[in-house]
Amino acid sequence: MPRIYKLNRQDILNKLFWSLIFLLLMIVFLYASHTSKSVTNNPITNNMEINSELTSSSTTLTQPRIMLVAGGCFWCVEADLEKLPGVLSVISGYADGTAPNPTYENYTELGFREAVKITYNPTLVTFEQILIYALKHLDPTDAGGSFHDRGEQYAPALYYGNTMEKEIIENLISDMNNNGPYDVPLAIDVLAESTFWPAEDYHQDYYKKISSKLKYSYYRRASGRDDFIRKYWGNDTGPTLSWRKELATGSKVYQWTNYSKPDKSVLKLKLPELAYKVTQEEETEHPYSSPLDKNEEVGIYVDILSGEPLFSSRDKFNSDTGWPSFVKPITTTAVTEKMDKKLFSTRTEIRSTIADNHLGHVFPDGPKERGGLRYCMNGVALDFIPKTDMVERGYGDFLSEL
């Protein structure tokens, strides 16, 4: 008769414990085996993110930013901007005055105007995207007020916190004047950020409070704001400008203006393998692998396929990340931005406007004195045109950008 062994509770727990340890070790082994299967020449998909974390803490990368916008009634501006993805909060209040502690009863006589303070995640939405979205939801052509409300206290304004933001605003206004839907030039004020004073509690979230949302709905409908938005923008009320896809550098036609990207089968034959994987499959070259990373020659960087200008040597800096880095594109319309949710995080992808090639990502850890952004690009997606060759190769108009 076989011998019967009785296991006590402790024996059972020990066996379960070691079984779990063995299972965890097997999982780690299988994962390590899978991730080690890489060829040195192959692109990677996460080194750019890893290097970013090495050069700047994750807290810095995701640290919220603040900006001010004035667009008339702060109830309406707050309601609109809170609907934009990436915006964390919007507070109604008063800006531009000099006296402390303004109230709804005296802010006008103290020289304030109604404004909102926006807190946003720069990895989800950019400063310029918020500006575009705001401009589409107010009347930037009226310097004497906003819709039904008249007076300087309701006049629209865009605010900047540094010279880079001021340049972004001015370039956007110029772009709107040249290509936008309005019949007259924009008349919106461009002002340095001033002290912002939050409005009284009952003004916050006015559009959704039970006690005030009916009054808000009636006021907004009667003000003419929504009719104005529909007249000039229709359903195109998002944080992008449709005409930027049509022409990347103004009204002049260049050799790259009408570029049409070939089929992927053709591109596979035309491009080196790594360049194809990066630009068409959104992969990433290894850090320090591109000679353009340390290139200090004066000139411009263009799209490897279309030749459209993307960045200037004037805006290049050494980020010590291993990828060519810039503080901004060569023009405000040179690149487009796209939300990227790969790698269990949300980043802002950068693509060339005309060729629509993947270039890299933008991070909020660049030089603060130049706007705080780092356009981290794959060198294999770029072609460098030295200053001495620019005229001959059709880039003479961009010498002023060096």
The β-bridge partners of 383 are 302
224 and 273 fall within a common domain? no
In a domain? residue 256: no
What pLDDT digit, counting tens, does each position of 359-398 carry? 999 999 999 988 899 999 999 999 999 999 998 898 988 9
In a domain? residue 204: yes
Report the alpha-carbon angle 335-167-127, nearest 5: 60
What pLDDT digit, counting tens, does each position of 174-210 carry? 989 988 999 999 999 999 999 999 999 999 999 999 9
Residue 38, sorted as left (phi over 0), alpha (psi -120 to 50) or beta, turns out to be beta
CATH at residue 72: 3.30.1060.10
148 and 215 fall within a common domain? yes
In a domain? residue 281: yes
CATH at residue 314: 2.170.150.20
323 and 359 fall within a common domain? yes
What secondary structure letter does DSSP report for 262? P
Would you state the pLDDT for residue 8?
Answer: 53
280 and 197 fall within a common domain? no
Specify the range with the lowest mean pLDDT, choosing from 253-257, 336-340, 346-350, 385-389: 253-257
272 and 235 fall within a common domain? no
232 and 269 fall within a common domain? no
Q: What are the tokens at 166? A: 């001021």
3-state helix, strand, coil in the chain (%, to 5): 35, 20, 45
Within its chain, how far is the Cα of 52 from the centroid? Answer: 17
For residue 124, the enclosing domain spans: 60-241
What pLDDT digit, counting tens, does each position of 21-67 carry? 767 766 655 544 443 333 333 443 333 443 343 333 334 445 899 99
Distance CA 27, CA 38 (A): 19
In a domain? residue 248: no
Helices within 207-272 (DSSP H only): 213-223, 225-233, 243-246, 264-270
Q: Pick from 185, 138, 181: which is nearest to 158 by CA? A: 138
Confidence of residue 290 (pLDDT cuts 50, 70, 90): very high
pTM: 0.54
Distance CA 238, CA 15 (A): 59
129 and 161 fall within a common domain? yes
301 and 169 fall within a common domain? no
Catalytic residue numbers read: 73, 376
352 and 222 fall within a common domain? no
In a domain? residue 48: no
Cβ atoms of 139 and 146 closer than 8 Å: yes
